Amino acid sequence: MPKPAPKSIDRAAALLMIRTAMVEKKMTQAALADASDCHEKTIQNLMRGKAVRDQTLFDVCMVLGLDFDAVKAAWGGGEDASVGPMDLRGEGGAVAPVYMGAYTRAAVDHYIGSYLTLRPAFTVPGALVAYRTEVVWDPEWPSLLFEERDRPDGAYAHRGRLYVPASASFIHLVSLTKGAMRMIVLSQLDQFGIMRGLITTLNKHRASLTPVAAPIVYVKRDSLAAGDLGEIGPLHPRHGEYRPLIDEAMAQGYVRLVGL
C-alpha cells in the first residue's frame, strides 16, 4: 500500500518570528546561511516551511537572537533526518556534492581522525605552532568536515570542509565565514599518515591583518598530549621532532614559496 502523505504543518508563527528577526538584523537568506554555517538551499527550504533538522533551527535562532524553545514549539513537526536537496546530500547522505569532488564516504574514510598540525609561527622567528585538527564525516551535508582545536590563539580557530578532486594529487581544506575565506592545499594522505602543503590566511600584525602564506604539515595521531601542542620554540623538547617535518615538506617539493 502507498504511504499516506505527511500531514501539513502550519509553521506561519515560527516563520514570522524568523522573518521579523531577519528584517531587524538586515540579514538576507545568504547571510543567514553563512552565519549559521549551512547551505543557502537549507535556509531556502526553512523559509518555505519545509522540514529541517533541529540543529539547523537552533543555529538559526542563535544567529538571530531568538528563543529556540519558542521557535521550536511554533515550528512543530519534529526532526526530519532525511531533509536536504538531493544534489547536496547525494545518495543516502554518503556522497559529497559534485562541486566538492563527488567523493563517497567509503573513498575518504582514511582521512577521518585526529591530526597533529604544524606550521611556522607568523610572529616569532624560529618558532612553530602545533595544534589539533579533527576530521569527521558530516552526514547532514555529506562531506568531510575539519575543525581546529587546542590552538594557542583559540579565537582564530577555523572550521570548514574538505574538497577532494577526483583526478588531483592535492586536496583543499576551505573555511568560509561571512565572506572571509582561508584555504589550505595539501598532498593526499600518504602511507605514513602525513599530508604536506601550504596555508594561505590572514595574520594579525599589530593593528592590522596581513595576508600570509606558509608551509603546513598534518600528521595523523591516535592521541596528543597537552605538552605536544602550543607555541613550540627552539628550546621546546618537541622542536627537534617537529621542525624536520616542515623542512622536509619544503625540500621534497610539496611547497614552493616564490619571491621576487
Residue 90 lies in a domain: no
Classify residue 89: in a domain, yes or no: no
Set of cell numbers at residue 120: 611556522
Do residues 185 and 128 both lie within one domain?
Answer: yes
Tens digit of each residue's pLDDT (9 = 90 or more) over 47-69: 999 888 887 888 898 889 888 88
Q: Does 31 reside within a domain?
A: yes
- 35 and 140, same domain (yes or no): no
Instruction: Give a yes or no: residue 93 inside a domain.
Output: no
**Residue 71 within a domain:** yes
Least trusted range by pLDDT, from 20-24, 56-60, 85-89, 201-205: 85-89
Q: Looking at 32, 60, 84, which one is the last position of a domain?
A: 84
pLDDT in tens, 24-44: 988 898 888 888 877 888 898
Kindly report whether the global pTM for this prediction surpasses the value 0.75.
Answer: no
Measure the CA–CA gap between 37 and 174, rounded to whole angstroms: 13
Indicate if the pLDDT at residue 88 is higher than 70: no
Whether residues 26 and 68 share a domain: the answer is yes
- CA distance linking residue 238 with residue 123, whole number of Å: 19
**CATH at residue 67:** 1.10.260.40
- 245 and 116 share a domain? yes
Decide if 202 is inside a domain.
yes
Q: Which domain holds residue 153?
A: 100-251
Q: How far is CA 26 from the centre of its chain?
A: 26
Give 10: exposed, middle or buried? Use CB within 10 Å, 0-12, 13-18, 19+.
Answer: exposed
What mean pLDDT comes out for the span 111-131? 95
Q: Is 139 exposed, middle or buried (0-12, 13-18, 19+ CB in 10 A)?
A: middle
Band of pLDDT at residue 123, cut at 50, 70 and 90: confident
- Collapsing DSSP to helix, strand or coil, 108 comes out as helix
**Alpha helical stretches, state H, the chain:** 12-25, 29-36, 40-47, 54-64, 68-75, 86-89, 105-108, 239-251
**Number of structural domains found in the chain:** 2
> What contacts 255, CB < 8 A, 6 or more positions away?
196, 197, 198, 215, 249
- Residue 111 makes CB contacts below 8 A (sequence gap 6+) with 135, 144, 162, 189
pLDDT at 125 over 70: yes
CA separation for the pair 55, 80 (Å, rounded): 11
Count CA atoms within 13 Å of residue 54 on its CB side. 9
